[in-house]
Amino acid sequence: HRACAQRISHWMRDCGFDEVEIDAVGNVVGRYKAATDDAKTLLTGSHYDTVRNGGKYDGRLGIFVPMACVRELHRQGRRLPFHIEVVGFAEEEGQRYKATFLGSGALIGDFKQEWLEQKDADGITLREAMQHAGLCIDDIPKLQRDPARYLGFIEVHIEQGPVLNELDIPLGIVTSINGSARYICEMIGMASHAGTTPMDRRRDAACGVAELALYIEKRAARDGTSVATMGQLNVPSGSVNVVPGRCQFSLDLRAPTNEQRDAMVADILAEIEAIAQRRGLRYSTELAMKAAAAPSAPEWQQRWEAAVDALGVPLYRMPSGAGHDAMKLHEIMPQAMLFVRGLNAGISHNPLESSTADDMQLSVDAFSHVLNQLAQEQQ
């Protein structure tokens, strides 16, 4: 992770950014200055962390596209009437700790101090991990940005789904990012002998969770546009001949609106209670993340649309099922995203994730177009 941050920071310097730093939360921040110091700043970027066994483009594409644009501005010796700040966010995926959006959260003043006491699977606290990485935790509150000094936030991202690929369209205009909630849960029953405990006397925690896994699948499908995933399901110290006494599991629940997400969450929590009652189990649920749906700011969406139109590429508007750093910046400034078509049916969170140089170049061209458009507006 730290080597990756170093590598990005060196490449930013090579591109001609005026200032490059790795900040207190681990974000890599590059600034390319405006013609005048008192100008406002365009904020952009994406994350450089990834899921376990993920692909190469999720996140990184949104760092490298604006870097390519800045490299070109620098090559031309050109300054715009606004500063450009490109951020490689240190953490977006929420893999090692329950906390997530650590990088973009810090920029909006939403890095929660209690997160520092969370432990990873090996018992290492977030505080210890960050200190070990040489980060100055005390300085994180200073990373909060003043929205009055910013024009807005734009993010380029690989689509991570099959839509653009099926339509044979290279770029997508994001209209809104789905709202989400994550829970870390545990079902607790009674561990007992697998050979001697009759079926009607068991309090099998894993069977309770299995029942829930099938329920969430049906409940999300009922909405049509909601999704629900149990990505982690673990019987701690389970044995082949022991009825599972505990079962830990995660829930990732998303929908296009907060209301639709909250209705699904309520039904799923009620179902956990019902299953526990029926099976004589106890349980705990801990909300690990809740991100509001983030509709694109109309004027920024319009700038992406004008850029895509100018490239002669078909204009296709779509919601984002995946979460993005833009959801956090959305809380303090206008934002809009551009999607780039993925290959292999748009698969993501998988090493098969891919895109083409041609499609990525189109996103660089669209980004440059937005920069030029903004430059004209700021004249």
Binding-site ranges for Mn ion (CB under 5 A): 58-59
Q: Which is nearer to Mn ion, 188 or 288 (CB)?
A: 288
Tell me whether residue 187 or residue 335 sits nearer to Mn ion (CB atom): 335
272: helix, strand or coil:
helix
80 vs 288 by CB, closer to Mn ion: 288
105 binds, among ligand GLV, Mn ion, none (CB under 5 to 8 A by kind): none
Q: In the complex, what is the shortest distance from the CB of residue 212 to ligand GLV, in angstroms, rounded to a whole number?
A: 20
Site string for ligand GLV, 175-204 (x = CB under 6 A): ------------------------------
24, 322, 327, 338: which one binds ligand GLV (CB under 6 A): 322
Interatomic CA distance for residues 63 and 77, integer angstroms = 21
Q: Which does 20 bind (CB under 5 to 8 A by kind): Mn ion, ligand GLV, none?
A: none
Residue nearest to ligand GLV (CB): 323
Partner touching 323 among ligand GLV, Mn ion, none, CB below 5 to 8 Å by kind: ligand GLV
Q: Residue 208: name its binding partner from Mn ion, ligand GLV, none (Cβ under 5 to 8 Å by kind).
A: none
**Which of residues 30 and 55 has its CB atom nearest to Mn ion in the complex?**
55
- State which amino acid sits at residue 160: Q
The answer to whether the beta carbons of residues 59 and 92 sit under 8 Å apart is: yes
* Shortest distance (Å) from residue 295 CB to Mn ion: 19
At 258, give phi and psi (nearest 5°). -60, -35
> Strand, coil or helix: what is 43?
strand
CB of 93 to ligand GLV, least distance (A): 6
Quote the least distance from Cβ 115 to ligand GLV, whole Å: 17
Beta-carbon neighbour count of residue 121 at 10 Å? 8
Q: How far is the CB of 308 from ligand GLV (least distance, A)?
A: 23
Q: How far is the CB of 155 from Mn ion (least distance, A)?
A: 9
Q: Between 59 and 245, whose beta carbon lies closer to Mn ion?
A: 59
Please count the other Cβ atoms lying within 10 Å of the Cβ belonging to residue 128.
Answer: 13
Residue indicated by tokens 């990184």 = 60
Residue 55 binds which one of ligand GLV, Mn ion, none, with CB within 5 to 8 A depending on kind?
A: none
DSSP for 78-141, please give it. Answer: ---SSEEEEEEES--S--SSS---HHHHHHTT---GGGGG-B-TTS-BHHHHHHHTT--GGGGG
The yes or no reply on residue 323 touching ligand GLV (CB under 6 A) is yes
Phi, psi of 230 (to 5 degrees): -110, 90
Q: Which of residues 59-118 bind ligand GLV (CB under 6 A)?
A: 93
Asked whether the beta carbons of 54 and 353 are under 8 A apart, the reply is yes
The DSSP symbol for 322 reads S
Listed in sequence order, the DSSP H helices in the chain are 2-15, 60-76, 102-107, 126-132, 163-167, 205-223, 258-279, 298-310, 326-329, 357-378
Size of residue set near ligand GLV by CB under 6 A: 3
Interatomic CA distance for residues 14 and 6, integer angstroms = 12
Site string (5-24) toward ligand GLV, x via CB under 6 A:
--------------------
CA angle centred on 188, ends 186 and 191, rounded to 5°: 130
The residue ranges that bind ligand GLV (CB under 6 A) are 93, 322-323
